[in-house]
């Protein structure tokens, strides 16, 4: 029986569709039988004005998410508290498996929310990023049993600047210094998403934890569980601006409290070097 215990790594110091055009073969044309065109026949035809587009351009900041209902997924054979989500290699495709399963609700008891990477609101199938190893794993899910949502939030963690910026569309709504992963356990670079909100208890995690869909690239396990990366508070705010953690991003408690209140599950977090 697999253990599904997770451990935030901060605890120490923490298929292509080929498109093809279609058409048919045109019959041969006997030009000798064609009538001589009149002047009217060769005049430039009047071109009608192009219709005004009725659809609005796509919002470049829009993020689409799906959230599972309580009964979505298959009952876990070892723990009926959880269900697990079936994953596929394409719409109506073949089942795929990863090293970890996608639990509903999450390990921490939150409604499972996934960030859509391909597809639109209302689609029967969408591609999503998964909170499993290896990092940035994706699969297709049948959206029956999920609720769509959308928002315009995103966060950028700049490791070289030891900073976290949060945006609502193009508007910067929060900026802070941060503690990042030390050289031997760096914070993984990539696009992840917020998949859980967990009270921090006031110790090394600070007041709140925003769990991300990423895992440490250098740690197989941590404190007996999976080495989950997170943004969380801290009880040592004087360490901001240093590389001390085991991969997590630590920010002052007042900042994490604002982010927990403001950011929905499924918010993308871009970690850049």
Give residue-wise pLDDT tens across range 15-44.
333 333 233 222 332 333 333 333 333 444
The domain tally of the chain equals 2
Average pLDDT over the chain, rounded to an integer: 85
With 90 as the cut, is the pLDDT of residue 97 above it? yes
Are 72 and 159 in a shared domain? no
Which one of 151, 167, 186 terminates a domain?
151
Bridge partners (DSSP) of residue 238 are none
Are 183 and 245 in a shared domain? yes
Are 160 and 260 in a shared domain? yes
E-assigned strand segments in the chain: 6-8, 63-68, 74-75, 83-84, 103-104, 113-118, 125-129, 138-142, 146-151, 153-158, 163-168, 171-177, 180-181, 190-199, 208-215, 226-232, 243-245, 249-250, 268-272
Which one of 116, 151, 186 terminates a domain?
151
Query: In the prediction, which pLDDT does 57 show?
Result: 73
Are 126 and 83 in a shared domain? yes
Are 226 and 161 in a shared domain? yes
User: Do residues 191 and 108 make contact, with C-beta atoms less than 8 angstroms apart?
Assistant: no
Predicted TM-score (pTM) of this structure: 0.80
Q: Which residue has the higher pLDDT, 33 or 160?
A: 160
Residue pointed to by tokens 């997170």: 230
Across 9-13, 15-19, 78-82, 181-185, the highest mean pLDDT is recorded for 181-185
Range of the domain at 71: 63-151
Return the percentage of the chain with pLDDT > 70, whole number.
79
Query: In the prediction, which pLDDT does 216 show?
Result: 97
Provide the token pair at 29.
Answer: 């044309």
| pLDDT tier, 10 (very low <50, low <70, confident <90, very high otherwise) | very low
With 70 as the cut, is the pLDDT of residue 46 above it? no
Are 253 and 166 in a shared domain? yes
């Amino acid at each position: 029986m697999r253990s599904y215990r997770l451990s935030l790594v901060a605890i120490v110091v923490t298929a292509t569709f080929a498109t093809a055009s279609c058409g048919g073969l045109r019959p041969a044309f006997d030009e000798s039988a064609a009538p001589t065109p009149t002047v009217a026949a060769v005049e430039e035809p009047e071109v009608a004005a192009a219709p005004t587009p009725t659809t609005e351009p796509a919002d470049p900041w829009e993020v689409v998410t799906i959230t599972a209902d309580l009964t979505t997924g298959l009952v876990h054979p070892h723990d009926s508290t959880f269900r697990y989500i079936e994953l596929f290699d394409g719409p109506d495709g073949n089942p795929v498996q990863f090293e970890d399963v996608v639990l509903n609700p999450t390990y921490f008891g939150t409604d499972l929310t996934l960030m859509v990477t391909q597809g639109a609101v209302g689609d029967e199938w969408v591609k999503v990023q998964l909170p499993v190893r290896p990092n940035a794993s994706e699969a297709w899910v049948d959206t029956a049993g999920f609720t769509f949502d959308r928002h315009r939030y995103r966060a950028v963690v700049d490791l070289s600047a030891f900073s976290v910026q949060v945006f609502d569309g193009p508007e910067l709504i929060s900026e802070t210094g941060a503690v990042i992963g030390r050289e031997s356990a760096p914070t993984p670079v990539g696009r992840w998403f917020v998949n859980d909100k967990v009270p921090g208890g006031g110790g090394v995690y600070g007041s709140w934890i925003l769990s991300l869909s990423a895992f440490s690239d250098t740690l197989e396990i941590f404190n007996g569980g999976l080495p989950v990366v997170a943004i969380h508070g801290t009880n040592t705010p004087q360490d901001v601006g240093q590389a001390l953690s085991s991969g997590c991003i630590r920010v002052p408690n007042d900042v994490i409290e604002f982010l927990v209140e403001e950011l929905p599950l499924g918010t993308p977090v871009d970690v850049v070097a």
